[in-house]
A and B are shown apart, each in its own frame.
Chain A
Amino acid sequence: MTILVDENTRVIVQGITGRIGSVQTRLMLNYGTKIVAGVTPGKGGQTVEGIPVYNTVSEALKEHPADSSIIFVPATFAKDAAFEAINAGLKLLVIITEHIPVHDTMKIKAMAERHGVTVLGPNTPGIISPGKTKLGIMPGNLYMPGEVGIVARSATLSYEIAGNLTEAGIGQTTCLGIGGDLITGVTFVDVLKMFEADHDTKAIVIVGEIGRTVEEEAAKFIEGQISKPVVAFIAGRYAPLGKRMGHAGAIIERGRGTVETKITALREAGVKVIERPMEIVSAIRDVFKHGLT
């Protein structure tokens, strides 16, 4: 088993005719992803990598039933594209687009919650179940099938962690990014629940970084509700404070959001926190050695 996607997942690519959309469609097809149709308003009737293009999501769905969409639409139009996919009845959206205005993301999130739709991103590398499918931009060759679930905020840092595991011969069930923006669809907690319920996932890896409080919330949730071993890496030990992040929501995030608070919270919840990405290998080996069900 995997979470959210598997070899039967049928995918629509929104923004398929764009520079990134078309290249990534080819790479996903090469990986084995069941892409059934593409959507670009005004480009209906064309084909990209042999995939038929439609003007709207609902038009595409009439010919090609699907359950999920991966969105490469430019930031300016991304909110509308997401709304369109939700209204057409798709249940999983992977929003790759970065720089979507925060107010738009709040609306996408609210709309998705109303319709029971799962949103990964914005600004996510997507999701991959190695050997089965990938709805995302991650390099497929860094992954291999196995028993570790990875959830990350940063795209390339999650590649690093997965790549370290693969090079050591440790495979993964599903790896996904919640997205690097200030507001994202699913959070760490949502994904932890899914990994807990997935029989094939034997250990969970959280890849976090400074800012936001999703790691602290994950820590709180792990205590008591996650029975599987969790390993975490948090980037930003030497990052300059207050330089990159705005001070938004300061009161709610008061005293949290630094590397120290995240690491402390996770350690208190029984999570093994590693100091360097490479240590993921020994940490996971340890976990497996110490007897798993």
Chain B
Amino acid sequence: MRLFEFEAKALFSLNGIPIPEGEVVETPTEARDVAESLQKPVMLKAQVLAGMRGKAGGIKLARNPVEAEEFSKKLLGTEICGCKVRKLLVEECLDIDRELYLSVTFDSSKGRPVIIASPEGGIEIEEVAFKSPEKIIQVYVDVFEGIKPEAAREIVMKMGLTGDLLLKVSQTLWTLYKVFEKYDAIIAEINPLIITKNQQVSAAGAVLNLDDDALYRHPEVAIKPEERIEDPIELEAWKLGIPYVRLDGDIGTIGSGAGLAIATIDLVRHFGGKAANFLDTGGRITQEHIEKALEIVMMNPNVRAILINLYGGINPIVEGARGIVKFIRERKLQIPVVVKVKGNFEDEAWKILEEAGVDVIKVTQTELAAQRIVQLAQMGESVDYSR
């Protein structure tokens, strides 16, 4: 779960990383007030959960409180990178001497934390890596040992910093690692870390992605999904803990497993159809869960056929079949539904579905199921399940 910049900065600051002075606001008047109290030019930064926001016009410099109000009016309520701007971070404008890059993430192949630092910050780090890879310092960290202050200093020395700045930046890096560890972060990034003309450091850009699976360990990080998931169906699915992504087609899809669900979407497309969504039931196909999954799929008004692709591995697949039938009957569904079920307890599942008049595919070939649903969707005939 990605945090908003202002949330990330609040956590950084709480743990001792210096950040620019500023406040988050929701109205132009508030923006003016903050600019007035800071008594200097301010940056207005759209709070959206997307990168490249600056290039999309989401960051504006206001020289005085009047401009702060004026520019906020223009920014608030617009869309930046597909996200509605509901909040702005109003921050003091810093006198920049240098910009650095610091981050802690993990390398998924090695399975270890990695620190990435560069004396060139402010732009996309990918760009630095591409143009001048020698400027990227990568240091792997032992997950049990963590990082020692002297190791942090060594990295910062490699960035070419000395004296007082060596101490300040290495302290910041060390703290950033602590934040990464403490909050179960996927990535903790400062870009840019600004060094001001009077040699102070400040985390002007902050990214903090936390591991969804570890959020339960951090009740102090209160995350409101309704503020960060734009699509109402995706939000509903998130609340139910169902991985769902809305797509622009008309064939609803459900797969028991992410890889299978993705492959199902690919196959629907291969046969000339277009999926309306990605939905992964994971390993918990209970009757109730499959009903909820179908509910989510049907929230999308474009759906005119449904393909359900299930394997009975860890799943009580028979219950899944019952859930499908119950949903179809209760909702008096009239659109074509094709179900492919294989695996543990498949015979019982087939029987339940067939008795309810559902189209069942009994071999492992998702191709057949995809082909069938695309055909049925194109024919556009309604189906009577009430027989």
Contact = CB atoms under 8 A, between A and B. Distances in A.
Interface of A: 20, 23-24, 27, 75-76, 96, 98-107, 109-110, 125, 137-139, 141-142, 152-160, 163-164, 166-167, 180, 182-185, 187, 207, 209-210, 212-214, 217, 233, 235-240, 243-244, 246-254, 275-278
A104 B209 CA distance: 16
Contacts of B283: 20, 98, 137, 155
Contact of A212 (B108, B314, B316, B342): B108
Given A102-B186, A251-B126, A214 B262 contact: no
B220 to A, nearest CB: 16
Interface string B96-107: 000000010111
A253 B105 CA distance: 12
Given A157-B260, A235-B263, A247-B209, A105 B111 contact: yes
Given A160-B260, A182-B106, 20 more contacts: A20-B314, A102-B184, A106-B106, A141-B346, A156-B259, A157-B257, A157-B263, A180-B257, A184-B111, A209-B259, A212-B109, A236-B262, A239-B262, A239-B266, A243-B278, A244-B278, A248-B187, A249-B187, A251-B136, A254-B129
Contacts of A98: 282-283
Contacts of A96: 314
Interface stretch (B17-25, B60-68, B210-218): B210-218
B111 A106 contact: yes
24 contacts: A27-B344, A101-B213, A110-B111, A137-B313, A137-B314, A154-B257, A154-B260, A155-B259, A155-B311, A157-B260, A159-B313, A167-B363, A182-B106, A213-B108, A233-B263, A235-B262, A237-B266, A239-B266, A240-B278, A243-B245, A249-B107, A253-B108, A276-B270, A278-B367
Contacts of A239: 262, 265-266, 278
A156 B260 contact: yes
Contacts of A27: 344
Interface string B240-268: 00010101000000011111101101110
Closest 7 CB pairs between A and B?
A154-B259, A163-B364, A156-B257, A139-B343, A101-B214, A157-B259, A156-B260
A160 to B, nearest CB: 5
B181 interface: yes
Interface in B337-387: 342-344, 346, 363-367
Interface stretch (B87-95, B112-120, B158-166): B112-120
Given A155-B257, A156-B259, A142 B126 contact: no
A277 B263 contact: yes
Contact of A238 (B187, B258, B269): B269
Nearest to B281: A156
B278 A159 contact: no
A107 B143 contact: yes
B200 to A, nearest CB: 27
B129 to A, nearest CB: 5
Looking at B142, B213, B275, which has the most chain A CB atoms within 10 Å of its CB?
Answer: B213
A251 B116 CA distance: 9
Interface string B25-49: 0000000000000000000000000
Contacts of B116: 251
Given A101-B211, A248-B187, A276-B367, A24 B314 contact: yes
Given A246-B209, A248-B187, A164 B126 contact: no
Contacts of B105: 248-250
